A = this chain, B = another copy of it.
Amino acid sequence: MAPPDATLKVAVVGAAGYVGGELLRLLTGHPAVAEIHAHSSSSAGRRWSEVHSSLVNLPAAPRFEPVDAEAAGAWADVVFLALPHGESQRIMAAVAAGDPRLIIDTAADFRLVDCARAERTYGPHAAPELLGRFACGLADVEGARLAGADRITVPGCFATSVLLALWPLAPVLGPASAPVCWAATGSSGSGARAKATTHHPFRAHNLFAYALAGHRHEAELDERLGAWCGSRAPSCSLLTHSAPIVRGIHATVRVAPAEPVVDPNRLLSDSYAGRPFIRVLDHPPELASVVGSNHAHLHAASRRDGREVIVAVVIDNLVKGAAGQAVQAMNLALDLDETAGLEAVGLAPC
């Protein structure tokens, strides 16, 4: 265990977005972090609080710096990248040139190891030679395996929720298990820029599906299931929905296990025993209970004598689904207390 003294220099690149704001919020309260540089191309020169309104409650009032990938990499011990998809891959070499102790990417750029799959899903990749160079940052599953990692890619918010539901079931999945994942996200998942689908009059009391014919985050799910299940891995259907909430993801996953599972909740409890941010409940989880925290709540039930298993899971998309998991991954990689800076229990009712 590293000493609790605050010694780390941390850079956040892309700090004006919602994930960037959450990183700033969490890192300013982290006991090992001594100094933070927040880089933003759109907001350089502005105060953090002009962009992230609750940061006006910090004692200090720092300003954003322009994005300078090389300088960030050279100055910082840890560099978090919180950029729109496609930008990390273009600056990763420059960041890495400074040889920081740890780089954590929260975008999709390096989540897929298989280059063909990555390019089929997202188009041509600017740094294909770095695919595979990053450890998977699914922190609650990977745990101690992240110790010493120097490059980490954090799964997306949908993928995190679904993978946390599926991982305990991995041993009983087969090619015909047909996982179907109904997932609903809050509007903060669409980013900080106003758009038609997040216009308040449209979104406030609305609920709608999108990408029903196929969602690109299924690639992450399939690659991970392949890693866990090998040749018996099923392919996963992700049915994404936009809900009239701001924060959070609720996912309900249905699988037909290869053999009956009569007590799937027990399977979950055993799989996550000792993991500090996972709670396996004896009733379906409520989204509001994880908002503002790095926790995931899960519950599983079976039907048809165990031939059908349902797992429900809730996370805060900006914390466990992005910034919080990234900080947890940093803690694990640097051998800090896994929960350092992530002790907030949430804010229900909120």
Query: In the assembled complex, how far is the CB of residue A45 from the closest CB belonging to chain B, in whole angstroms?
Result: 17
The minimal Cβ–Cβ distance linking A204 to chain B, given in whole angstroms, is 5
Contact A243 B246 (CB under 8 A): no
- A25 contacts B252, C-beta separation under 8 Å: no
1/0 per residue A205-230: CB within 8 Å of B? 11111101110000000000000000
Which chain B residues lie closer than 8 Å to A182 at the CB level?
A: 182, 239, 252
Q: A160 in the interface, Cβ–Cβ < 8 Å?
A: no
A157 part of interface (Cβ distance < 8 Å): no
The residue in chain B whose Cβ has the minimal distance to the Cβ of A18 is B349
Stretch from A63-71, A78-86, A104-112, A280-288 that touches the partner: A280-288
A345 touches B213 (CB 8 A): no
Residue of B nearest to A203 (CB): B200
Interface residues of A in 216-255 (CB under 8 A from B): 235, 237, 239, 241, 243-248, 250, 252, 254
Q: Name the one of B59, B198, B292, B312 contacting A212, with C-beta atoms under 8 angstroms.
A: B312
How far apart are A43's CB and chain B's nearest CB, in angstroms? 13
- Whether A178 pairs with B239 at a CB distance below 8 angstroms is no
A52 within 8 A of B: yes
Give, as a whole number of angstroms, the nearest-CB distance from A253 to chain B. Answer: 10
Chain B residue nearest in CB terms to A24 = B345
Interface size class of A (residues with CB under 8 A): 35 or more
A299 adjacent to B212 (CB under 8 Å): yes
For A248, the closest partner residue in chain B by CB is B207
Q: Are A202 and B252 in contact (CB under 8 A)?
A: no
Query: Is the beta-carbon distance between A241 and B250 smaller than 8 angstroms?
Result: yes
A195 CB, nearest partner CB in chain B, Å: 6
Known: A182-B182, A288-B202. A237 touches B303 (CB 8 A): yes
Is A326 interfacial (CB 8 A cutoff)? no
Give Cα A343 to B188, complex, Å: 24
Q: Does A37 contact B (CB under 8 A)?
A: no
- CB of A212 within 8 A of CB of B53, answer no
Contact with B along A10-21 (1 / 0, CB 8 A): 000000001000
A256, closest chain B residue (CB): B178
Q: Could you write out 20 A-B pairs with CB less than 8 Å apart?
A: A52-B348, A53-B348, A54-B291, A57-B279, A178-B178, A184-B243, A188-B349, A192-B199, A199-B199, A200-B200, A202-B288, A204-B246, A204-B349, A208-B250, A209-B299, A213-B301, A213-B302, A239-B310, A243-B244, A246-B349
Not counting A56-B281, A180-B180, A209-B310, a sample of 5 additional A-B residue pairs whose C-beta atoms are within 8 angstroms of each other reads A28-B345, A53-B348, A186-B201, A187-B199, A213-B303
